[in-house]
């Protein structure tokens, strides 16, 4: 009897180990915690990320369009900027953005630091200038002291500002999704339907673009491979990557991490639900019409990719010495 029990336990352990090893070969990888983070830089970057004084009006911050309580985006088709200006493209999530091959839908920023300076000076977004933003920071003594503590210099530069914001954004990863737990050996972490959805996701070809730890973000692909895509916004004419007209609709493949939170979908925010997005992607990219049951299983799988959301204490922003009223950014 004792030998039988030992044999059964050994067999069970062997099967469990084999299952873990098999999952280690899956095209999707678990999210890992951020590596080599400078905590002083993170704390400074967190303040800057939430500080609306980097905008011309003093009302728009990075968090306005990449809201960390809303999946790192703003849940509207295209973002609203200074003086009610509607942007041309959907705001991608900032969560897990450090895993992207490049930043922005068209990849024009090589990394998070290069991206961070863009919205500040964009007339349709925060509508400031780097010079004006630096002047605001230099007028706030607590910021001057903190920049000196972190960088060891008296002068604040835009490179320091963007480096701090980027360092904070590197911490915005979302580990421990149920699917990650399944990948790491917890067979009960996902249901039979969710697993069936994953198998369908792989067998249909979705995995060719949506793979790796971010389940996307690692390549650029044409939107509308089998059927042409009819965009719903001015983003229709946007040329991605090279700026050439021939490259229209070539976009960075978005991450599917936390995708149930980052609606509406696509570069123009035209799909309001995951069900609609799965249907469109199946037809346009794969030439496949999913049944309602198949669609539901894929959606169920996608929802297992929601991980732990960033948890931190909101920063107390240093008080400004300038109390001059500013116009509201949405005033015309």
Query: What are the distances in angstroms from CA 158 to CA 49, 54, 118, 155?
Result: 14, 11, 11, 10
Distance CA 120, CA 227 (A): 37
Arithmetic mean of pLDDT, 82-101: 95
CB atoms within 10 A of CB 193: 14
Q: What is the pLDDT of residue 242?
A: 58
Q: Is the pTM of this model over 0.75?
A: yes
151 vs 162: CA distance, rounded Å: 13
Task: Pick the more confident residue, 144 or 244.
Answer: 144
Q: What residues act catalytically?
A: 125
Of 284, 276, 268, nearest in space to 302 by CA: 276
Q: What is the distance between the alpha carbons of residues 6 and 170, in angstroms, rounded to a whole number?
A: 46
Q: Is the pLDDT of residue 7 over 90?
A: no
Contact call for residues 173 and 31 (beta carbons, < 8 A): yes
List, for residues 219-262, the tens digit of each pLDDT value: 999 999 999 988 665 445 455 555 677 777 899 999 999 999 99
Distance CA 92, CA 20 (A): 33
Average pLDDT over residues 113-141: 97
**Looking at residues 196-213, what average pLDDT do you find?**
98
Instruction: Look at residues 69, 311, 101, 294 and name the one whose alpha carbon lies nearest to residue 211.
Output: 101
| Nearest-angstrom CA–CA distance, 110 and 122 | 18
């Amino acid at each position: 009897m004792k030998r039988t029990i030992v044999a059964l336990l050994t067999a069970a352990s062997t099967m469990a180990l084999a299952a873990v090893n098999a999952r280690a070969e899956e095209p999707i990888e678990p999210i890992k915690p951020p590596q080599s983070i400078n905590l002083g830089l993170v704390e400074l970057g967190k303040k800057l990320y939430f500080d609306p004084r980097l905008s011309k009006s003093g009302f728009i911050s990075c968090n306005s369009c990449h809201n960390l309580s809303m999946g790192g985006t703003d849940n509207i088709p295209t973002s609203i900027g200074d003086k009610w200006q509607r942007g041309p493209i959907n705001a991608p999530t900032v969560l897990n953005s450090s895993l992207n091959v490049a930043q922005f839908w068209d990849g024009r920023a090589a990394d998070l630091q290069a991206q961070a300076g863009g919205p500040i000076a964009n007339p349709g977004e925060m509508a400031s200038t780097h010079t004006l933003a630096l002047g605001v920071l230099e007028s706030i003594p607590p910021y001057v002291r903190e920049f000196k503590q972190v960088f060891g210099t008296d002068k604040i530069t835009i490179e320091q500002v963007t480096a701090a914001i980027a360092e904070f954004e590197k911490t915005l990863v979302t580990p421990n999704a149920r699917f990650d737990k399944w990948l790491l050996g917890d067979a009960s972490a996902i249901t039979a339907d969710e697993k069936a959805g994953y198998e369908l996701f792989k067998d249909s070809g979705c995995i060719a673009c949506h793979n790796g730890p971010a389940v996307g973000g690692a390549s650029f692909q044409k939107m509308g491979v089998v059927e042409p895509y009819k965009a719903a916004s001015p983003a229709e004419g946007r040329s991605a990557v090279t700026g050439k007209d021939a490259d229209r609709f070539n976009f960075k493949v978005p991450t599917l991490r936390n995708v149930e939170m980052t609606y509406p979908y696509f570069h123009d925010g035209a799909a309001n639900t995951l069900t609609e997005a799965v249907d469109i992607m199946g037809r346009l990219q794969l030439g496949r019409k999913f049944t309602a049951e198949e669609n539901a299983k894929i959606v169920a799988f996608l929802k297992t990719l929601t991980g732990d959301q960033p948890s931190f204490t909101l920063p107390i922003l240093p008080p400004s010495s300038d109390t001059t009223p500013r116009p509201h950014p949405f005033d015309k």
